[in-house]
């Protein structure tokens, strides 16, 4: 009991000191933190959005759309490949019904060549050894292409990665805010924006796919009223709500798309008052735009965003500079929003907000103040109670308590963990539960003394016998902390982290540290009788 | 100065003598809780029922009738407006269409399908409400806004239920492994008791039952077990030490020996949680209240549920005698330590 090897003593002291030091950047007020070296200052506890204020959105991707887009892409690729084949392969209509793509070359002699070309359009999926499409010949006349689940999954994964990038560019174009955008599960993206004032704007910014297309307006507009468009054309609504459901017939073929865009910014029309969006194309897009505008001077074209027509101006003359201006009924804000959306790129898949939590900064500040106050009062009350109950051993318990608090804060700082509101409750609870270890030990020492053991023996037995119960009890807490972390979301995870850390540190301080202190006291004073 | 002793030395209360009375009390409370939960239901938070919740604070006393009129003007019929702790703050809840009982939603699977369409509509309603309130009451401040779709809420409910069940089973298994099967059963029953009473408490008070409360219930499970384990540990020790002792006396002695610890620890937690209850953030009032109750109930159940079950399941002291290589029980003195 009394023999503590020197290395063990040093280890305990060093661990304690490291914990206290690590907690410092967190405890210091914000303005004092500025004087610390950056690496030290950065190692502090982050406040969760429920404390700091801010918004958290959970976006869900419509994954069936990915399959549809994959199918549409393949449709187009097959058409192009057959047209470009040398000699050209004539094919009939491509069917994409039931998630299977199939077509028939007009000349049966071309079937094998068409299969070869179609196969070349497919890709291997990672290291699975599978391809994203299975290509087969049926009835020796028809090429049938079926997307594989592996290929689709891979495609969804890629789309989600890409969507994540687009989302973070949209929210934080300059990359200066502490925005966190993470993938969750197979089809969700979590967005956390601290200190946000206007969650509505955030939602409308993310609600747009921002798929920009330029298409020629069909000279035959009869479809707008009859609802039946000619072959190669489609009927689209106008975006402007004042258009009152007006529709326009445009050609299906995309002249230029937003993918060829390199810059977009809000500007003003020549009159200097009407907000517009200036866009610039890359080389490829610029060339295409020049080509189309030259061939169609005097004709109308439609600027389409997410399947709705923003405006349908006329090509006054050929546009050779690769620059264009989108005008519609914009306000400065909506023009800005469109510019940011276009600049950040098209979302590969539409996103819906399925969960939103916003906390205003006042409520968060109030929670922190009250939480910290309650924590301090509770600690003082507990210290008072402990010293009253166990005298000198209560003081040791108190020391263990305070060190424990520092250690939890320190560990959280080192890991850069996030403190949430339930986390504060978890913290206070851990402090309360940490006392239990010492209560168990102290009570056991009392008992052993009552049984007539000598002081040193009583203390030794106290620690030894109590340790078993402490261990068993902590294992069960670890079990519930793990389950909470596994199944919980945001705030509950924060709680689980604090609880788990608290279990580790409280065993260290409650058992090891107090034992060192008690051993030191016994060695120095050799008391005949313990006051406990 | 002599330290304070809350429990005098050599206390010997015949706790288990009252086990039938305690059992009747427990069964009565459990029946009441089940009845409350099924008749009155829980006040499910938006985490589980889906829908929108907004906390709005005003510079003056909130004009609830005017707010209600405003909401009705927007076509929001089923919203509830409640004043929170202060008169200047209200909580507005807009439920989803259909059932607001997450259990039914889960069973029917309706909300998941419906929400696909409703998410957009519900979001629009919430936006309209927000804009409208901001317009009519320029001094209004939105403290918190939560908007959960039916899909997510059903998911949260499902994972929450799984987490609770897993925690209980996992912990009971652990106790079975480190003690005997009777102890595992006893601990599991004690847990059920605590969890059901907590639910009953929430049905009675109609405090909001949200995701944080699940964390509280999981903590209650952890703590209640902590308490049960400490008494079980002492019982195991005594079973080994006093092999001839009659079981009821032995359990009583164990409870009495650990009584001082039980009281000091429970009191420490009650002090901490009590302070948190009165001084802590309003937002976690329900959370803290649940834990406070859990501590009281958990302490009771360790003595009156976990211990008597051992009598009823007929635990024998030779369960704890280690077996030698031949599978025979080694002969040991009737009194003696096994370390």
More confident residue, B119 or A338: A338
- pLDDT given for residue B35 in this prediction: 95
Q: Give the integer Cα–Cα distance in Å for A62 and A347.
A: 11
Q: Residues with Cβ < 8 Å from A221, sequence gap 6 or more?
A: A248, A249
| Tokens read off for A81 | 């490949």
Query: Is position A458 within any domain?
Result: yes
Q: Evaluate whether residue B1 is within a structural domain.
A: no
Closest CA to B150 of A492, A190, A355, A349: A355
Residues in A touching B273 (Cβ below 8 Å): 428-429, 432
For chain B, the C-alpha Rg in angstroms (whole number) is 26
B34 within some domain: yes
Cβ(B153)–Cβ(B48) under 8 Å?
Answer: yes
Q: A480 lies in a domain? A: yes
CATH number at residue A260: 3.30.1360.200
Assess whether A430 and A514 both reside in one domain.
yes
**B183 CA to chain A: closest CA distance, Å?**
13
CB B119 within 8 A of CB A353: yes
User: Is B133's Cβ below 8 Å from some Cβ in A?
Assistant: no
**Same domain? B144 vs B162:** no
User: What pLDDT is attached to residue B194?
Assistant: 93
Asked whether the beta carbons of A261 and A212 are under 8 A apart, the reply is yes
- List the one residue out of A500, A212, A180, A433 whose CA is nearest residue A344: A212
- Here the CATH number for the domain that contains residue A430 is 1.20.1640.10
Element (H, E) at B141: strand B141-148
Q: Cα(first)–Cα(last) distance of chain A, in Å?
A: 18
> Rounded mean pLDDT of chain B?
81
Q: Which of B156, B289, B219, B288 is nearest to A490 (CA)?
A: B156
Instruction: Give pLDDT, residue B197.
Output: 95
pTM over 0.90: no
Query: Is B268–A352 a contact, with Cβ atoms under 8 angstroms apart?
Result: no
Q: Do B211 and A492 touch (CB under 8 A)?
A: yes
Parent domain of B94: 51-148
Whether residue B326 has pLDDT greater than 70: no
Quick one: average pLDDT of A497-523?
88
Could you tell me if residue B106 is inside a domain? yes
Closest listed residue to residue A70, CA positions, set A125, A16, A14, A9: A125
Does B131 share its domain with B160?
no
CA angle B304, B309, B312 (to 5 degrees): 130
Q: Which residues contact A129 (CB under 8 A, 6 or more apart)?
A: none
pLDDT at B334: 45
Non-local CB neighbours of B75 within 8 Å, separated by 6+ positions:
B125
Token pair of B233 as six digits = 């540990």
Contact call for residues B92 and B128 (beta carbons, < 8 A): no
Same domain, A179 and A236: no
Closest CA to B122 of B154, B89, B75, B84: B75
Q: Mark yes or no for CB contact A469/B120 under 8 Å.
A: no
Burial classification of residue A332, based on how many CB atoms lie within 10 Å of its CB (0-12 exposed, 13-18 middle, 19 or more buried)? exposed
A427/A495 Cα distance (integer angstroms): 8
Q: Are residues A414 and A387 in the same domain?
A: yes
* 8-state DSSP, A307: T
In the three-class reduction of DSSP (H, G, I as helix; E, B as strand; rest coil), residue A232 is classed as coil
Model confidence at B339, pLDDT cuts 50, 70, 90, reads very low
Which secondary-structure segment (H or E) carries A281?
strand A275-281
Contact between A268 and A339 under an 8 Å Cβ cutoff? The reply is no
Residue A389 has pLDDT above 50, yes or no: yes
CATH number at residue B173: 1.20.1640.10
Q: Express each pLDDT in B46-59 by its tens digit.
A: 888 888 888 888 88
DSSP, collapsed to helix, strand or coil, labels residue A32 as helix
Chain B residues within an 8 Å CB radius of A477? 222, 225-226
A463 to each of A433, A434, B159, how far by Cα in Å? 17, 15, 40
- Does B333 reside within a domain? no
pLDDT above 70: residue B316? yes
Instruction: Tell me if A202 is assigned to some domain.
Output: no
Contact by Cβ (8 Å): B115, B51? no
Q: Cβ contact (<8 Å) for B284 and A422?
A: yes
Report how far Cα A468 is from the mean position of its chain's Cα atoms.
Answer: 42
Do residues A371 and A504 both lie within one domain? Answer: yes
Tokens representing A422? 């339930």
A366, A431, A488: residue with CB nearest B215: A488
| Residue A413 CB coordination number (10 Å) | 23
Assess B85–A contact: CB distance below 8 Å, yes or no.
no
Q: What is the CATH number of the domain that holds B136?
A: 3.30.70.3400
Instruction: Give the lowest-confidence range in A454-458, B162-166, B332-336.
Output: B332-336
B29 plus B66 within the same structural domain: no
- Quick one: A326 and A471 in the same domain? no
Tell me: do B89 and B211 sit in the same domain: no
- Of the pLDDT bands very low, low, confident and very high (cuts 50, 70, 90), residue B336 is very low
Separation of alpha carbons B118 and A353, rounded Å: 11
Q: Whose CA is closest to B321, among B307, B338, B309, B303?
A: B338
B245 at interface of A, judged by CB pairs closer than 8 A: no
Structure tokens at B255: 């409870």
Residues A454 and A448: their CA atoms lie apart, in Å, by 9
Is A477 a residue whose pLDDT tops 50?
A: yes
Rounded Cα gap, residues A433 and A438, in angstroms: 10
Burial class (CB in 10 A: 0-12, 13-18, 19+), B214: buried
Strand order in the sheet with A301-305: A256-257, A212-216, A301-305, A308-311
**Residue B193 burial (C-beta neighbours within 10 Å; 0-12, 13-18, 19+):** buried
Among residues A447, A444, A445, A509, the alpha carbon closest in space to that of A474 is found at A509
Examine the domain organization and report whether B297 and B160 are in the same domain.
yes
Residues B160 and B275 occupy one common structural domain: yes
Count up the domains in chain A and report the number.
3
Q: What stretch of H or E contains A522?
A: helix A514-525
Q: Which of A304, A334, A357 is the last residue of a domain?
A: A357
Map tokens 């907690």 to a residue. A23
Residues A364 and A332 in one domain: no
Distance from CA of A391 to the nearest CA of B (A): 6
Q: Are residues A312 and A345 in the same domain?
A: yes
Residue B102 has pLDDT above 80, yes or no: no
User: On the CB side of B108, how many CA atoms lie within 13 Å of its CA?
Assistant: 13
What residue has token string 């034992």?
A515
Is-contact A300 A217, C-beta < 8 A?
Answer: yes
A61-65, A293-297, B94-98: segment of lowest average pLDDT: B94-98
Find, among A199, A202, A363, the residue nearest to B141 by Cα: A363
Q: Is residue A531 part of a domain?
A: no
Q: Which of B290, B296, B279, B282 is nearest to B227 (CA)?
A: B296
Rounded distance, CA B301 to CA B29, Å? 12
pLDDT at A152: 87
> Can you spell out the DSSP letters for A412-478?
HHHHT-EE-HHHHHHHHHHHHHHHHHHHHHHHHHHHHHHTT--HHHHHHHHHHHHHHHHHHHHHHHH
The long-range contacts involving A458-463, CB below 8 angstroms and separated by at least 24 positions, are A458/A530, A459/A1, A459/A518, A459/A522, A459/A530, A460/A1, A463/A1, A463/A511, A463/A515
Domain count, chain B: 2
State the alpha helices, DSSP H only, in B206-316: 211-241, 247-279, 285-301, 307-312
Do A69 and A180 share a domain, yes or no? yes
Q: For residue A138, list its beta bridge partners.
A: A142
Predicted local confidence at residue B333, as pLDDT: 47
Instruction: For residues A397-417, give the mean pLDDT.
Output: 87
Structure confidence at residue A179 (pLDDT): 82
Nearest residue of chain A to residue B210 (CA atoms): A492
For residue B126, say if its preceding peptide bond is cis, omega within 30 degrees of 0: no
Report the alpha-carbon distance of residue A399 to residue B288 in Å, rounded. Answer: 26
Contact A423, A429 (CB under 8 A): no
- The distance from CA B73 to its chain's CA centroid, rounded to whole angstroms, is 40
pLDDT tens per residue across span B245-254: 888 889 999 9
Percent of chain A residues past pLDDT 90, beyond the cut = 6
Q: Which of A132, A165, A195 is the last residue of a domain?
A: A195
Q: Is B70 found in the same domain as B34?
A: no
Same domain, B174 and B307: yes
Do both A136 and A221 map to the same domain? no
Q: Do B164 and B265 sit in the same domain of this protein?
A: yes
Smallest CA–CA distance from B3 into chain A, residue: A389
Q: Return the number of other C-beta atoms located less than 10 Å from residue A10's C-beta.
A: 11
- The reply to whether B254 touches chain A by the CB within 8 Å rule is no
Name the B residues in 200-239 with CB < 8 Å from any A CB.
211-212, 214-215, 218-219, 221-223, 225-226, 229-230, 233-234, 237
Which of A175, A195, A215 delimits the end of a domain?
Answer: A195
Does B171 share its domain with B289?
yes
Number of Cβ within a 10 Å radius of residue B1: 7
Residue A201 belongs to some domain of the structure: no
> A200 and A216 in contact (C-beta within 8 Å)?
no
**Does B322 map to a domain?**
no
B258-276 mean pLDDT: 88
Q: What burial class does residue B157 get, using C-beta atoms within 10 Å of its C-beta: 0-12 exposed, 13-18 middle, 19+ buried?
A: buried
Identify whether A235 is part of a domain.
Answer: yes
**B336 falls within a domain:** no
Q: Residue A139 region, left (φ>0) first, then alpha (ψ -120 to 50), else beta?
A: left
- The distance of B30 to chain A (nearest Cα, Å) reads 24
Top residue of B276, B291, B294, B299 to mutate, by most chain A CBs within 10 Å, is: B276
ipTM of the complex: 0.81
B289 assigned to some structural domain: yes
Residue B117 scores a pLDDT above 70: no
SS3 label, residue A498: helix
Q: Is residue B170 part of a domain?
A: yes
* A133 lies in the same domain as A25: no
Is pLDDT at B24 greater than 90 in this prediction?
yes
Q: What range defines the domain where residue A353 resides?
A: 207-357
Structure tokens at B157: 């409910």
- Do residues A308 and A251 touch, judged by C-beta distance below 8 A? no
Same domain, A42 and A109: no
Q: Which residue of B lies nearest to A449 if distances are taken between CA atoms?
A: B9
Residues B215 and B127 in one domain: no
User: Do residues B22 and B158 share a domain?
Assistant: yes
Query: What integer pLDDT is reported at residue B338 of this predicted model?
Result: 43
Average pLDDT score, chain A? 83
Burial class (CB in 10 A: 0-12, 13-18, 19+), A399: middle
The whole-angstrom distance between A140's CA and the closest CA on chain B is 42
Question: Does residue A510 share a domain with residue A364?
Answer: yes
């Amino acid at each position: 009991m009394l023999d503590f090897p020197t290395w063990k003593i040093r280890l305990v002291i060093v661990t304690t000191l490291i914990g206290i030091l690590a907690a410092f950047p967190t405890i210091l007020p914000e303005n004092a933190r500025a004087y610390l070296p950056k690496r030290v200052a950065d190692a502090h506890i982050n406040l969760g959005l429920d404390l700091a204020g801010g918004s958290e959105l959970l976006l869900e991707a419509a994954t069936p759309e990915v399959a549809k887009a994959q199918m549409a892409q393949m449709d187009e690729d097959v058409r192009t490949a057959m047209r470009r084949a040398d000699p050209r392969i004539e094919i009939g209509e491509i069917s994409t019904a039931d998630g299977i793509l199939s077509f028939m070359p007009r000349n049966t002699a071309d079937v094998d060549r068409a299969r070869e070309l179609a196969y070349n359009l497919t890709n291997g999926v990672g290291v699975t050894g599978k391809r994203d499409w299975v290509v087969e010949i049926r009835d020796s006349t028809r090429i049938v292409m079926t997307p594989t689940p592996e290929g689709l999954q891979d495609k969804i994964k890629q789309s989600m990665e890409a969507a994540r990038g687009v989302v973070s560019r949209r929210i934080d174009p300059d990359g200066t805010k502490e925005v966190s955008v993470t993938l969750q599960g197979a089809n969700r993206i979590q967005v956390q924006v601290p200190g946000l004032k206007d969650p509505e704007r955030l939602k409308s910014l993310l609600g747009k796919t921002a798929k920009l297309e330029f298409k020629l307006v069909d000279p035959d507009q009869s479809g707008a009223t009859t609802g039946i468009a000619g072959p190669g054309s489609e009927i689209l609504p106008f975006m402007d709500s004042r258009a009152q459901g007006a529709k326009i017939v445009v050609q299906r073929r995309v002249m230029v798309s937003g993918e060829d865009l390199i810059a977009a910014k809000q500007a003003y029309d020549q009159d200097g008052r009407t907000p517009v969006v200036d866009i610039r194309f890359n080389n490829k897009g610029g060339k295409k735009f020049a080509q189309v505008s030259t061939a169609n001077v005097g004709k109308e074209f439609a600027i389409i965003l997410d399947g709705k027509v923003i405006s349908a101006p006329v090509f006054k003359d050929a546009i050779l500079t690769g620059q264009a201006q989108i005008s519609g009924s914009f306000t400065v804000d909506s023009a800005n929003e469109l510019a940011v959306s276009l600049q950040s790129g098209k979302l590969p898949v539409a996103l819906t907000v399925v969960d939103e939590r916003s906390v205003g900064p006042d409520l968060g500040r109030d929670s922190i103040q009250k939480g910290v106050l309650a924590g301090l009062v509770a600690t003082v009350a507990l210290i008072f109670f402990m010293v009253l109950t166990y005298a000198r051993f209560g003081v040791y318990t108190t020391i263990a308590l305070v060190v424990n608090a520092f250690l939890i804060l320190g560990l959280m700082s080192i890991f850069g963990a996030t403190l949430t509101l339930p986390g504060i409750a978890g913290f206070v609870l851990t402090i309360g539960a940490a006392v239990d270890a010492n209560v168990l030990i102290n009570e056991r020492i009392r008992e052993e003394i009552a049984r007539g053991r000598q002081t040193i023996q009583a203390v030794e037995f106290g620690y030894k016998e109590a340790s078993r119960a402490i261990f068993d009890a902590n294992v069960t807490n670890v079990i519930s902390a793990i389950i909470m972390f596994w199944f919980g979301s945001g705030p509950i995870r924060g709680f689980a982290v604090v609880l788990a850390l608290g279990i580790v540190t409280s065993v260290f301080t409650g058992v090891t540290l107090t034992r060192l202190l008690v051993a030191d006291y016994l060695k120095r004073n050799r008391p005949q009788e313990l006051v406990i | 100065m002599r330290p304070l002793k809350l429990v005098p030395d050599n206390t010997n209360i015949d706790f288990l003598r009252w086990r039938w009375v305690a059992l009747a009390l427990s069964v009565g409370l459990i029946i009441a809780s089940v009845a409350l939960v099924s008749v009155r239901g829980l006040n499910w938070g938006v985490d589980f029922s889906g829908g929108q919740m907004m906390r709005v604070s005003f510079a003056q006393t909130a004009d609830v009738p005017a707010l209600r009129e405003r909401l009705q003007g927007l076509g929001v019929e089923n919203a509830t407006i409640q004043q929170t702790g202060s008169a200047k703050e209200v909580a507005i809840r807009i439920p989803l269409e259909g059932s607001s009982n997450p259990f039914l939603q889960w069973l029917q699977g309706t909300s998941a399908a419906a929400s696909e369409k409703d998410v957009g509509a519900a979001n629009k309603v919430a936006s309209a409400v927000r804009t409208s309130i901001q317009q009519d009451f320029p001094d209004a401040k939105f403290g918190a806004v939560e908007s959960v779709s039916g899909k997510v809420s059903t998911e949260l409910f499902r994972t929450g239920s799984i987490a609770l069940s897993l925690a209980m089973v996992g912990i009971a298994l652990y106790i079975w492994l480190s003690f005997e099967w009777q102890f595992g059963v006893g601990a599991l029953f004690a847990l059920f008791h605590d969890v059901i009473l907590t639910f009953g408490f929430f049905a009675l008070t109609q405090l909001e039952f949200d995701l944080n409360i699940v964390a509280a219930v999981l903590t209650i499970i952890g703590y209640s077990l902590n308490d049960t384990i400490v008494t079980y540990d002492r019982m195991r020790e005594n079973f080994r030490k006093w092999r001839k002792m009659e079981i009821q006396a032995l359990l009583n002695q164990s409870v009495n020996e650990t009584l001082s610890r039980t009281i000091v620890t429970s009191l420490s937690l009650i002090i901490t949680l009590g302070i948190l209850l009165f001084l802590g953030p309003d937002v976690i009032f329900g959370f803290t209240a649940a834990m406070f109750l859990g501590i009281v109930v958990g302490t009771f159940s360790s003595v009156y549920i976990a211990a008597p079950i051992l009598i009823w399941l007929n635990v024998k002291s030779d369960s704890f005698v280690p077996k030698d290589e031949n599978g025979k029980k080694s002969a040991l003195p009737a009194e003696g330590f096994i370390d």
